[in-house]
Amino acid sequence: MPRIGLDLPTLLQAAADIADTEGIDGLSLATLAKKLNVRTPSLYNHVDGLPGLRAKLSVYGLELLHGKLTDAAVGRSGDDAIRAFGNAYLAFARSRPGLYDLTLRAPDPHAPDVVQAGKKLVDLLVRLMEGYGLEGDDALHAIRGLRSALHGFASLEQKGGFGMPLDLDKSFRLLLDALLAGLHAIRSGGPVNEVRR
């Protein structure tokens, strides 16, 4: 019997759960319909096929990630804010692996809703970079470095790329220490500043 009251938020939450447990490739309209106890055609009332589902799920993931990162950084500044941001980022990637993957693999990364959701994340980081005196292109370059490092760590961990029996949380703390040292060097006009000239 079809489930009464199916709405888009319920559908997206169920799809995200499948993506997190089965991976993106395990998410299909058939598996989602089965999980929701509805017929597959019923899903078309909410999404335009599997590509439409993935597009909406990408935005859903970006918005959820933005909320977690904002909650972590709010009321903090400088190193404390960056550490909280980094820890929340890794926690999201660890707890929502499929959804995290979809935040980086939107079917159309230029779709207005994807661009808007991504811009909110960048805007949050721009505000955090103000604490280091970084603005404009300098802030954006620093943000690219920070995001690359956080994603690289999260991705390597997810793919089993850290095979040595060392404490991953300690490795991540050292990574954040190195990133913060770099931000301080840029702010003080140290050797890292030579790259900006």
Boundaries of every domain in the chain: 54-196
For domain 54-196, give the fold: Tetracycline Repressor; domain 2 (1.10.357)
| Reported confidence tier of residue 24, pLDDT bands at 50, 70, 90 | very high
Q: What is the pLDDT of residue 195?
A: 46
DSSP sequence for the chain:
-PPTT--HHHHHHHHHHHHHHH-GGG--HHHHHHHHTS-HHHHTTTSSHHHHHHHHHHHHHHHHHHHHHHHHHTT--HHHHHHHHHHHHHHHHHH-HHHHHHHH--S-TTSHHHHHHHHHHHHHHHHHHGGGT--HHHHHHHHHHHHHHHHHHHHHHHTT---SSS-HHHHHHHHHHHHHHHHHHHHHT-GGGGGG-
Average pLDDT over residues 141-169: 95
Average pLDDT over residues 160-179: 95
- 113: number of CA atoms within 13 Å, CB side? 14
Residue 196 has pLDDT above 50, yes or no: no
Q: What pTM did the predictor assign?
A: 0.90
Q: What is the pLDDT of residue 190?
A: 55
pLDDT single digits (tens) 125-142: 999 999 999 999 999 999
